[in-house]
Chain A
């Protein structure tokens, strides 16, 4: 038995044939202790979802490996419950049916009344009582994600993987669900790895924040421990010095690595010729107008003069 609940060991992930291979993740190393809440924070397009699929076992590693309790992860399974960004609910099943499908497959030995009670418990836990027989299309975004959470938790996963679970929600619903997830987690502690792009969210919820550098070749950067006391209250937290400092540090770091990446990226760019847009008003239209209004012949000569210049502006760089 390993002392870590989840371990990523020197993993590279790339796509495409060798000739035009895109390295998405590069030398990722992460060790997560049991019952630890880790937030991985990164910019969009930095390979966050690939990392999550890697942890879930949906995406295999090109090199290296992902271990759960010392065991190599080779395929997805209910022991690593994943909460997808777009809910992944089955639209033809009701709230109850969606959870039932998961419970039935993970705990086939459960008797029917037991299962009913068990499912109802999870529905109550995420405050969806009364909506048991509604279809996902009849639920709001927040309710859908809650249902997704209930389904994931009902599988009793050893590790909970949250893939930007709240990024599709509006700010108020988002805050609400953050509290809910924290409440549930505090009631029933387990290992959580959350991916997010929101520094506040990470600081509020996590024990540790790990930065993911912008891709391609994204890798894990600095790690920040969050030592704020729990339960954390979002209303008072805004005045907490520690919170503010940590938030600023993380933000500054993230901005820094982004600029670094940008600098690296622009270095690889080809210099483009400095093009100026043609001022059609002064070059094209005016002389013609002059012709129409039938003025002096001298202005007509400017038309012929301007024409070669027009071509010159289009091609040259001055």
Chain B
């Protein structure tokens, strides 16, 4: 018994020791994951999520929950409150473009815009589909089309039912209003007739010289005034009637919207069938080739010289046509995500241009006080100039470089770069990018100059003791030590650039978010206002992520922690 007990003990001990070591290994692994995550959060500036991660690893749960409540839950409640306030207040404000859209309308703008984008993609794929893929697609589209069409029939029936049901409700609501209007009209009519006869009798008196002329004019004036008042009253009632008519019961409205959506989808599916059939590129090429074959036969059959010449000419033309059709691409409509990409591309081009100018000049300014003195007046005068002015100047000055943009080597080159060609670089984009560069150059320039001129004297002493040459001093000491401030400047520049870009695009008509907003403002559709507000959120969210990206860059180059303020 004793032996057995002794025998068992060491094994128990070994087991527990083993499990302990395994646990500690796991713990250290967990810790490294945890600290890695925390560092990532810290570097990217999302400090708010710090307690969430800590809570997941069960570190002081009470404290973390407190932090989450204070810095996440309360802010979320606040934002929810703001959205609620928006939802309540917005529909109460009537504008020329209808009521101010509420959050749900803006959210639906997102889905509408996204659907538009998806459908363009589908149509493009259809246009380019060949052979068996094309046939597969035709089959699947036909199946869905059939489904949708049966659905449509049902929905139409339902809509008619709902319309009938709602008509009663609408009539019920309209009846008192109509009655009121009718009453008003008759009473006004009666009053007007009474006044008219009064005027007639008075005018007769005036003719008979038993009454003064000013009495008559006074009466006329009061008549006009009363008429206007009556009109105003009628108008108010009419407005109420319009309001009832334009705001059908929610049930009807929903059914109408669903029906419209379905109708649009069916139209889209039909369009797809067209792109898969007659308008498909492969189909078109095949037709052109058949035509070419016919022409070639004709050429072979021709025997007299004049006919031969004409046949040869038409063969050449047909060949050209085949080539042209084969190289055609789908004429995409602009969609929101395309606009986003184009805006991002433009802002980066502008930003890079700004950085390429700002950093060298900033370094020169920081190193040499004469250069600083030379550039100071230029910086001070041009820094406050509005982007709109720059855009107009660039349209004239830069526009002079390419009078024929289609054939200009720069644009030809741009249309041959794979990804860039899809963004359709055009002069308007160049102007926008130049405007962005012009406005974004100043913060980067000023900050670089500051960073270079405020180098620690100790670091310069090191350079002196090591007898570093100018270039070495620049590369090894000056630039690294000023990098945090340079990046702080670049961060401001990118923010300014993004803000300027939207205005520049709206004004120059360069496809992008700015132009999207402008177009929506101009076309005044039922969704326009919601789309504008939706675009406002898109611009804001992208701006936020651009800023975060710059913070990460800035953090990664700064050697003294905390140089970047979030």
Task: Report if A90-B480 is in contact (Cβ < 8 Å); known contacts: A84-B458, A137-B559.
Answer: yes
- Say yes or no: A92-B458 contact (C-beta < 8 A), given A77-B467, A78-B467, A105-B472: no
CB-based contact A90/B462 at 8 Å: yes
A31 to chain B, nearest CB (A): 23
B456 and chain A: residue at smallest CB distance:
A88
Whole-angstrom CA separation of A76 from B464 in the bound complex = 6
- Give chain B nearest CB distance to A282 CB in angstroms: 53
Chain B residues near A139 (CB-CB < 8 A)? none
CA distance A77 to B463 in the complex (A): 9
Query: Across the interface, which residues of B come within 8 angstroms of A77, CB to CB?
Result: 465, 467
Separation of A86 and B457 alpha carbons in the complex (Å): 11
Contact A92 B481 (CB under 8 A): yes
Secondary structure at the A interface, as helix, strand, loop or mixed, is loop
> B464-491: contact bitstring with A at CB < 8 Å (1 yes, 0 no)?
1111100010001100110100000000
Q: Verify if B560 is at the interface (C-beta below 8 Å from A).
A: yes
In the assembled complex, A276 has its CB within 8 A of some CB on chain B: no
Distance from B291 Cβ to chain A, minimum over Cβ atoms (Å): 69
B461 beta carbon closer than 8 Å to chain A: yes
Residue from A56, A86, A91 in contact with B465 in the complex, judged by beta carbons closer than 8 Å: A56
Q: Shortest distance in angstroms between B480's beta carbon and chain A's nearest beta carbon?
A: 4
Contact in complex: A58, B466 (CB < 8 Å): no
A86 engages B458 (CB within 8 Å): yes
A106 at the interface (CB under 8 A from B): yes
Per-residue contact bits, chain A 91-114, to B (CB 8 Å; 1 contact, 0 not): 111000000011001100000000
Minimum Cβ distance to chain A for residue B421 (Å): 40
Is there contact, CB below 8 Å, between A102 and B466?
yes
A82 CB within 8 Å of chain B: yes
Task: Find chain A residues with CB under 8 A from B464 CB.
Answer: 58, 75-76
Q: A63–B16 Cα gap in the complex (Å)? A: 80
Chain A residue nearest to B466 in the complex (CB) = A105
Taking CB atoms, residues of chain A closer than 8 Å to B477 are: 90
How close is A61's CB to chain B, nearest CB, in angstroms? 16
User: Is B561 at the interface (CB under 8 A from chain A)?
Assistant: yes
A92: chain B residues at CB < 8 Å are 480-481, 483, 557, 559
Query: At the interface, yes or no: A135 with Cβ under 8 Å from chain B?
Result: yes
Measured CB to CB, the nearest residue on chain A to B465 is A76
B313 on the A face (CB < 8 A)? no
For residue B472, which residues in chain A have a CB less than 8 angstroms away from its CB? 105
Tell me whether B459 is interfacial, beta carbon within 8 Å: yes
In whole angstroms, how far apart are the Cα atoms of A155 and B466 in the complex? 9
Q: Which B residues lie within 8 Å of A82 (CB)?
A: 461, 465
Option from A75, A88, A105 in Cβ contact (under 8 Å) with B459: A88
> Judging by beta carbons under 8 Å apart, are B561 and A137 in contact?
yes
Question: How far apart are A79's CB and chain B's nearest CB, in angstroms?
Answer: 10
Q: Which of A80, A84, A88, A93 has the most CB of B within 10 A?
A: A88
- Pair B461/A135 contact, Cβ less than 8 Å: no
- Decide if A135 touches B458 in the complex (CB within 8 Å): no
Measured in the bound complex, the distance between the Cα atoms of B472 and A101 in whole Å is 10
User: Which B residues lie within 8 Å of A91 (CB)?
Assistant: 481, 559-560
Cβ contacts under 8 Å, A84 to chain B: 458, 461
Mask, A15-59, CB within 8 Å of B = 1, is: 000000000000000000000000000000000000000001010
**Cβ-defined partner of A90 (8 Å) among B459, B467, B557, B560:** B459
Inter-subunit contact A88/B462 (CB<8 Å): yes
In the bound complex, do residue A88 and residue B480 qualify as a contact, i.e. CB atoms below 8 Å apart?
no
A238 and B476 alpha carbons, distance in the complex (Å): 47
A135 in contact with B462 (CB, 8 Å): no
Name the residue of chain B whose CB is nearest to the CB of A84: B458
Contact B476 A101 (CB under 8 A): yes
Instruction: Tell me the bound Cα distance from A137 to B467 in angstroms.
Output: 25
Query: Complex: how many Å from CA A298 to CA B298?
Result: 140
* Residue contact A101 to B466, C-beta cutoff 8 Å: yes
CA distance A86 to B466 in the complex (A): 17
B467–chain A nearest beta-carbon distance, Å: 6
Interface residues of A in 189-243 (CB under 8 A from B): none
State in angstroms the CA–CA spacing of A155 and B559 once bound together.
Answer: 25
Least CB distance, A109 to chain B, in whole angstroms: 16
Indicate if the CB atoms of B481 and A90 lie closer than 8 Å. Answer: yes
CA distance A76 to B561 in the complex (A): 32
Within 8 A of A (CB), among B413-470: 458-459, 461-462, 464-468
Contacts of A58 in B (CB 8 A): 461, 464
Set of chain A residues within 8 Å of B459, measured between Cβ atoms: 88, 90
Determine the distance from Cα of A139 to Cα of B449 in the docked complex, in whole angstroms: 30
Q: Mark A55-70, 1 if CB is under 8 A from B, else 0.
A: 0101000000000000
| Interchain CA distance A102-B477 in the complex, whole Å | 12
Which residues on the A side are within 8 Å of B481 (C-beta)? 90-92
Known interface pairs A88-B458, A92-B481; A105-B560 also in contact (CB < 8 Å): no
Question: Whole-angstrom distance between the alpha carbons of A33 and B557 in the complex?
Answer: 46
Q: Which residue of B lies closest to A53 (CB)?
A: B461
Interchain CA distance A46-B483 in the complex, whole Å: 37
Cα distance A175–B124 in the bound complex, in angstroms: 78
Q: How far is the CA of A137 from the CA of B465 in the complex (A)?
A: 22
Q: Which of chain B's residues has its CB closest to A157's CB?
A: B465
Min C-beta distance of A86 to chain B, whole Å: 6
Closest chain-B Cβ to A108's Cβ sits at a distance in Å of 11
CA–CA, A25 and B480, complex, Å: 36
Closest B residue to A151 by beta carbon equals: B462
Chain B, residues 522-566, CB within 8 Å of chain A (1/0): the string is 000000000000000000000000000000000001011100000
Bound complex: CA A87 to CA B462 (Å): 10
Contact in complex: A137, B560 (CB < 8 Å): yes
Whose C-beta in chain A lies nearest to the C-beta of B557? Answer: A92
- Interfacial chain A residues near B466, Cβ < 8 Å: 78, 101-102, 105-106, 155
Q: In the complex, A77→B461 CA distance in Å?
A: 10
Most buried by B among A81, A91, A155: A91
Taking the nearest CB of chain B, how far is it from the CB of A140, in angstroms? 16
Closest-CB distance, A34 to chain B (whole angstroms):
21
- For residue B37, give the distance in angstroms from its CB to the closest CB of chain A: 21
A180 to B53, CA, bound (A): 45
Tell me the nearest residue of chain A to B468, going by C-beta: A105
The distance in angstroms between the C-alpha atoms of A164 and B417, with both chains bound, is 62
Residue pair A78, B561 in contact (C-beta under 8 Å): no
Shortest CB–CB separation between residue B389 and chain A, in angstroms?
40
**Cα of A75 to Cα of B481 in the assembled complex, Å:** 23
Q: Could you tell me the distance between the alpha carbons of A80 and B464 in the complex, rounded to whole angstroms?
A: 11
Residues of B within 8 A of A102 (CB): 466
CA distance A155 to B467 in the complex (A): 12
CA distance A238 to B176 in the complex (A): 112
Chain A residues whose CB sits within 8 angstroms of the CB of B560 once the complex forms: 91, 137
13 sampled A-B residue pairs with Cβ under 8 A: A56-B465, A77-B467, A78-B465, A80-B465, A82-B465, A86-B458, A88-B461, A90-B462, A90-B481, A92-B557, A101-B476, A105-B472, A106-B466
A75-B467, A76-B467, A91-B560 given; 6 more Cβ-contact pairs under 8 Å: A56-B465, A76-B464, A78-B465, A91-B481, A105-B472, A137-B561
* Those 8 A-B pairs whose CB atoms lie nearest each other, nearest first: A88-B458, A91-B559, A92-B559, A76-B464, A92-B480, A105-B466, A76-B465, A88-B462
